Amino acid sequence: MCIRDSVCANYIDTTLEPPFVALVVSGGHTQIMHFESYRRASIIGQTLDDASGEAYDKVARLLGLGYPGGPAVDKAAAKGNPRAFHFPEGVVSGSDFSFSGLKTAVLRTVENLKGAELPVEDLAASFQDAVNRVLFRKTIAVARSKGVSKVVLAGGVAANSDLRKRFESLADIEFFRPAPALCTDNAVMVAAAAFYSGEPVPLSVSAYSRQR
Ligand SMILES: Nc1ncnc2c1ncn2[C@@H]1O[C@H](COP(=O)(O)OP(=O)(O)OP(=O)(O)O)[C@@H](O)[C@H]1O
Ligand SMILES: [Mg+2]
């Protein structure tokens, strides 16, 4: 299996070949990975606490936007001002991330606004800006330090329209991202992962579910 099946969604209908740097942002992961080949990849940085998707989901709940929170925050943020509130990026050096402080900052702001009508769109836009700003900056820094000219987005948060726009704005880096419908878990990415990363498996092989 691919080291990260969500990354393999980027091999579908594209010319992508390693080496590249991947930002994997999902419900359970936030990692910057360096893919030297189809089967050789290393983790350069990762979250020390919450995954980015988890932060999106928790903040969405806080703002009364429901689950899954990522798409709802994305939609609300499009109508908000990302500079309305200043939320911290998290004080982690190097290529790692931390999102628990940001989540707490949104919580405190919401608590302080109790009684007044919540400016949901501005809060969503300011939170999204803080998350995406640091994801973008650290991923690009890794790509440049590794001398890699291709960057790949993967995982559910890769569907985020603001995050995609940031990477699309670069002139010197070729940017790959799956179609939005292929960002969250799906059978196509798993098939691509099997194709590119594993030994050929006969069709007679048995399938086992991890579900008990
Ligand atoms: N447009 C969006 N903007 C931000 N986040 C999004 C968007 N669309 C989906 N997400 C987030 O993506 C996450 C789900 O992604 P995915 O299905 O890749 O995660 P997972 O499979 O649960 O996690 P993992 O693979 O790490 O175990 C959810 O947290 C969801 O809120
Ligand atoms: Mg997954």
Domains of the chain (ranges, CATH numbers): 5-44+140-197 (3.30.420.560), 52-132 (3.30.420.40)
68 touches ligand 1 (CB under 6 Å):
yes
In which band, very low, low, confident or very high, does the pLDDT at 51 lie, cut at 50, 70 and 90? very high
pLDDT digits (tens, 9 = 90+) for 188-198: 888 888 888 76
pLDDT value, residue 102: 95
- Identify the pLDDT of residue 66: 85
What pLDDT score does 163 carry?
98
Q: Whose CA is nearest to atom 19 of ligand 1?
A: 27
Instruction: Enter the pTM of the model.
Output: 0.92
Indicate the Cα dihedral angle 143, 97, 59, 151, nearest 10°: 10
- Residue 49 is predicted with a pLDDT of 96
- The pLDDT confidence band at residue 67, using thresholds 50, 70 and 90, is confident
Q: Is the CB of 155 under 6 A from ligand 1?
A: yes
Is the minimum distance from the CB of 178 to ligand 1 under 6 angstroms?
no
Quote the pLDDT of residue 1.
Answer: 44
